[in-house]
Structure 1
Amino acid sequence: MSWIKVNIIIILLFILHLVGGVALSINSVKPIFLTLTPFNLLLTFGLLIFGNNDFSFKFFKIISLLFMIGFFIEVFGVYSGLLFGEYHYGKTLGFQLLGVPLIIGVNWILLVVSSFAVSSYFVSNSILKVVLSSFIMVLLDFMIEPVAIRLDFWHWQSGIIPLQNYLMWFLVAVLMNWILVFNRFKFNLKLGFGLLISQVLFFTLQSINFQ
């Protein structure tokens, strides 16, 4: 029955991202769906946890660590401008603490877990796994950045995405992926692929819409 549950969750992920991608292209409903963005991320996170079927203390310890790293790196980044560049968050991602939406920690989890699952399918060597997963995350950020700016996720002070943002993304990704490798983290490969493809679908739809 577990494979049925996983397949159903993957279908739901596709539907969520497809509906969101299309709805945000329709001006009459766009404001409504923008306000639903944090809830969509939470729902996606919940579906992944449920589908992965690992409710161990170790699993949640790792997930919590990823959340804390992602959130507090963003806090330092926003206040200092030293990490990713000078930027600030908009209102779309919801409630903020110290100038950073709480949901951003969940977003980091979704990105690293899906990238790690995909890289684990292709390579078994730990170093290669970390490098490949980190590169996947940077490629995702290339897709995310232009869309995020237009959807009021965050904004760059200069209006230009700095190169250091991508370099820092890679370094943070390496740290997070190393934590996963070090702890022998396991995640359902099918779910990881499903989420990654769903994310690519959403941001591709938005990229087409904004052109």
Structure 2
Amino acid sequence: MDFIGNEKKAEPKKIKKAPLFSKLFDAGSQKMESLLLVILGIIFFVGLWGHLLPITRSLMLLFTPYLLLVGGLVVFALTVREQGKALFFWALLTFVITFALEAIGVATGAIFGDYRYGPVLGTHIFGVPPIIGFNWVLVVLGFSRLVRGTFRIRYAPIGALLTALLCVLFDYILEPLAIRLDYWTWTGGDIPLKNYASWFLISLGAALPTWFFKKEPTSLLVQGYILIQAVFFILLRVGLALGGLILF
């Protein structure tokens, strides 16, 4: 009641509506994740045929670094939103370390072997395209979350070991394609065994800390994205082999 005896009318409560953007890009939304992975799968499927057809291959190679950057950033941003600061700082450290190792490797040949990056993956810094460090982050993170979330491996050393083996398998699938498409080249043409040994050790060291994140991962985006890449490289390798353009 007010001073003159008139009753004040209660103001209706305002219901705050979540912005459409927030709803659409909610990292916990399975529908959004499924939609995004379908879109990425379609893009990579189109890219597969674009790589297999000689008339469009150069155009696909031109788009390669931009697709990897944009697709990777979207997936990574939504994954960080779910996982929090620990994942961001892990990713930053992993990027810096792997990029530095790549730069040392290109300059000296002491880590992976004697190799050089071609122009396909974009601008070089110290002889290395920055997208390489970013893809190291996504590959290790994708397989570590696959091992931890899908395979339910909770013991950190075993999980990191399996992650490292999957990363080496990923590189094994990619290597002949990378040479054929001029991502990078090896002096003498042969892929040295220490390349795979270094992949294993670096992946092992990078994967181990991911088992100590306090927040349990639920998003399937990053592992789905890396599996799309893996399937893309497998199908492209088979397709080019059937066309007589690359040897297994």
Shorter-chain TM-score tier: over 0.9
Q: Is the 8 A contact 1:9 1:51 kept in 2?
A: no
Q: Which moved more, 1:132-141 or 1:55-64?
A: 55-64
TM-score w.r.t. length of structure 1: 0.93
Q: Give, in angstroms, the shift of residue 66 of structure 1.
A: 1.4
Q: CA RMSD in A?
A: 1.7
Paired residues for 1:30-69 under 5 Å: 30-52=57-79, 53-54=81-82, 56-69=84-97
Alignment of 1:112 onto 2:140: yes
**In 1, Cα distance between the equivalents of 2:183 and 2:238?**
18
Q: Gapped runs of 5+ residues in structure 1? A: none
Task: Out of 65-74 and 191-200, give the one that drifted further.
Answer: 191-200
Specify whether residues 167 and 132 from structure 1 end up closer, same or farther in structure 2 by C-alpha distance, changes over 3 A only. same
Measured after TM superposition, the shift of residue 89 of structure 1 is 0.4
Q: 1:189 to 1:55 in 2, by over 3 A?
A: closer
Match status 1:71 vs 2:99? yes
- Cα distance in 2 for partners of 1:151, 1:159 equals 14
Segments of structure 2 that go 5 or more residues without pairing to the other structure are: 1-22, 24-28, 242-248
Count of residue correspondences: 211
Shift of 1:63: 1.3
Q: Following the alignment from structure 2 to structure 1, what is the Cα–Cα distance between the partners of residues 216 and 105?
A: 30
Change in CA separation of 1:47 and 1:172 when aligned onto 2, cut-off 3 Å: same
TM-score with structure 2 length normalisation? 0.80
Name whichever structure is richer in helix by fraction.
1
- Mark the CA change 1:15 to 1:3 in structure 2 (over 3 Å): closer, same or farther: same
Alpha carbons 2:103, 2:127 under 8 Å: kept: yes
Aligned-pair identity in percent equals 31
> Which residue identity is paired with 1:25?
L
| Whole-angstrom distance in 1 between the partners of 2:96 and 2:215 | 17
Matched with 2:176 is: 146
In 2, the alpha carbon distance for the partners of 1:7 and 1:169 equals 30
Larger Cα-atom Rg: 2
